[in-house]
Amino acid sequence: MNAIVIEHVPVAELPEQWRARLANAGSALVTVRIEEEALTPPTEEFTTDDPAFGIWRDREDLTDVAAYVRKIREPRYRRDGSRGER
């Protein structure tokens, strides 16, 4: 694994997003360590042995889950989140 270590860096010289996380550091000096992340290949295996996990995976009528949920919620809730009339 490759790593870059930069020691005694003034907080004022760090990128703005990094400085925001060290707001109370003032004029402190820090050590910056940058490491290469190991890539893990995606797996096709399930992450659980629970038989209910993925039970609706093969349903063709649920290809757009967000649209399905909007459709079943529509009679009960308005778009602004308020309750619908029954």
pLDDT per residue as tens digits for the range 42-78: 777 656 778 787 777 788 888 888 888 888 887 777 7
Query: What pLDDT was estimated at residue 6?
Result: 92
Q: How confident is the model at residue 7 (pLDDT cuts 50, 70, 90)?
A: very high
pLDDT per residue as tens digits for the range 8-48: 999 989 998 988 888 787 788 999 999 988 888 777 765 67
Residue by residue, DSSP assigns 20-85 as HHTGGGTT-EEEEEEEPPPP-----S-S---TTTTTTTT-GGGSSHHHHHHHHHTTTB-TTSPBPP
- Record the tokens describing residue 27, joined without a space: 């004029």
Amino acid at 47: T
Give the start-to-end residue ranges of the domains of the chain: 3-35
Query: What pLDDT was estimated at residue 42?
Result: 73
pTM above 0.85, yes or no: no
